[in-house]
């Protein structure tokens, strides 16, 4: 069957339509993305301004048009941290549901982490052993660890690349003092989570998911020839750390000439790099591997299981 997944995230609104069947991998048929950067539209109280609501609804209506044209057998729509945490989130959700003609599933941070971990587990397989997963979205950082398909521990922190850019690195390019302040904030926010993850088994494999981490891996990582048209890309903490001062010195419009840095990531890539570097350092991670699958694939996989059951 063909299934659509609409992911209303903090940075992008992404529609993925894929062919799925029990026992098989999802095969993407259509992928449409609208960059909204919701963090730009948050007021001091966290509410989404009217311009942000308009941007969301415009993207949702376009996704609805694509869904009508493609006519998948079913589709699901989800929202993550920006809408989840906004004081006017319920009103925005009601407008989105009216535009879609379908209920919107608002995921908790833990659900995001669990579904992304499921996608990483399925991609890397049981041979990956004890898995540690890191995922940096626009609004939040998700972490999960375990040896099964569901993690033994999963946590979500408000350390997304877009959120940290707005709060700590609003100047372009940011100065060293601002980057240092962001580092200190990330370390403080991570401290309770680090102690929790210290109780877990040492990971056999560390995985980085999300567009931000994949972009950084293409910029500063190493590519290893793979099979079935999919190369492995690994990123070391030392290589990432060496790139942060260079990224921070460049204005945003110059960063997109770098390998892996797309136009929609130029503003928040410095914050994403700092959050990832501090997280790897706090957890004692020296290297991770970028995962091609993330939250949307996790949703597809969970749907396949539901239909099969």
- Could you read off the pLDDT of 148-202 as tens digits, one per residue? 999 999 999 999 999 999 999 999 999 999 999 999 999 999 999 999 999 999 9
For domain 2-106, is the CATH number 3.30.420.40? yes
SS3 116: helix
Q: Quick one: residue 28, left, alpha or beta (phi over 0 = left, psi -120 to 50 = alpha)?
A: beta
State whether CATH 3.30.420.150 applies to domain 109-295. yes
Residue 32 forms beta bridges with which residues? 15
Determine the pLDDT at residue 226. Answer: 66
50 sits in which H/E element: helix 50-70
Establish whether domains 2-106 and 109-295 are of one fold.
yes
Low-confidence ranges of the chain (pLDDT < 70): 226-230, 308-309
Question: Residue 268's closest CA among 7, 35, 83, 106?
Answer: 35
Q: Residues 6 or more apart from 127 whose CB is under 8 A from it? A: none
Both structure tokens of 244: 């942060």
Q: What is the pTM of this model?
A: 0.94
Residue closest to 213 by CA, chosen among 138, 155, 109, 298: 138
Element (H, E) at 301: helix 295-308
DSSP letter at 126 equals G
What per-residue confidence (pLDDT) applies to 309? 56
> What is the C-alpha to C-alpha distance for residues 305 and 286, in angstroms, rounded to an integer?
34
Q: State CA 213 to chain mean position distance.
A: 8
Task: Please state, rounded to an integer, the average pLDDT across all residues of the chain.
Answer: 94
Which pLDDT score, from 0 to 100, does residue 225 have?
76
Q: Where are the domains of the chain?
A: 2-106, 109-295
List phi, psi (to 5°) of 46.
90, 0
Give the pLDDT confidence score for residue 308 in this predicted structure.
62
Q: How far apart are CA 93 and CA 292, in angstroms?
A: 29
Q: Which residues contact 150 (CB under 8 A, 6 or more apart)?
A: 114, 117, 118
């Amino acid at each position: 069957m063909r299934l659509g997944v609409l992911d209303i995230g903090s940075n992008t609104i992404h529609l993925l339509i894929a062919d799925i069947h029990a026992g098989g991998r999802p095969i993407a048929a259509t992928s449409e993305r609208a960059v909204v950067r919701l963090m730009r539209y948050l007021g001091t109280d966290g509410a989404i301004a009217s311009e942000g609501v308009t941007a969301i609804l415009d993207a949702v209506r376009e996704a609805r048009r694509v869904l009508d044209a493609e006519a998948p057998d079913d589709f699901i729509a989800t929202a993550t941290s920006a809408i989840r945490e906004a004081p006017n989130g319920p009103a925005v959700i009601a407008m989105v549901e009216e535009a879609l003609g379908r209920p919107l599933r608002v995921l908790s941070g833990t659900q995001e982490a669990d579904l992304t971990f499921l996608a990483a587990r399925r991609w890397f397989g049981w041979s990956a052993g004890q898995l540690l997963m890191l995922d940096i979205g626009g609004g939040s950082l998700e972490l999960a660890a375990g040896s099964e398909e569901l993690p033994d521990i999963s946590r979500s922190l408000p350390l997304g690349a877009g959120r940290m850019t707005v709060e700590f690195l609003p100047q372009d390019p940011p100065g060293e003092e601002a980057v240092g302040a962001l580092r200190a904030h990330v370390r403080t926010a991570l401290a309770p989570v680090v102690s929790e993850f210290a109780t877990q088994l040492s990971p056999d494999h560390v995985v980085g998911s999300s567009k931000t981490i994949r972009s950084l891996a293409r910029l500063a990582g190493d590519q290893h020839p793979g099979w079935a048209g999919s190369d492995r890309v690994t990123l070391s903490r030392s290589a990432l750390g060496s790139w942060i001062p260079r990224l921070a010195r460049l204005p945003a419009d110059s960063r997109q000439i770098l390998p892996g840095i797309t136009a929609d990531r130029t503003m928040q890539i410095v914050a994403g790099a700092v959050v990832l570097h501090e997280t790897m350092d706090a957890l004692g991670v020296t290297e991770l591997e970028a995962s091609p699958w993330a939250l949307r694939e996790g949703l597809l996989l969970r749907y396949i299981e539901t239909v099969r059951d």
